[in-house]
Amino acid sequence: MSVFQKIIDGEIPVEFLHEDESCVAFYDQNPQAPIHVLVVPRKPLKMLEDADLEDEALLGRLMLVANKVAKQLSLETGYRVVINNGPDACQSVYHLHVHLLGGRGFSWPPG
């Protein structure tokens, strides 16, 4: 069971910035920006590549929740949304999740 599933199940306490029937959002414990939030689906998909057509609404929901939380956190000048998929992308927890990063300027290309 992933650490994110333990958070979703209440085994690891965190303060949710957002919680609904399909996903939760909470601060990353190892932030890579002044604001670093994770948006995690309740459905335990390991990776983005594991999603299929039946997950289309869920994937859209993750993006809308990231936007909602960005507004909640006053990220008016911009933010970055990232999904790491697999070892070459530095995915470290194999439960699909969206990183919402903000609070500073970012460069391009990333990494």
Spatial separation of the C-alpha atoms in residues 98 and 110, rounded to whole Å? 16
User: Do the beta carbons of residue 13 and residue 74 sit within 8 Å?
Assistant: no
Instruction: Give the three-class secondary structure for 8.
Output: helix
Q: Answer yes or no: 97 catalytic.
A: yes
Which among 18, 95, 97, 99 is annotated as catalytic? Answer: 97
Cβ within 8 Å of residue 18, ≥6 positions away: 24, 25, 39, 65, 68, 69, 72
Active site residues: 97
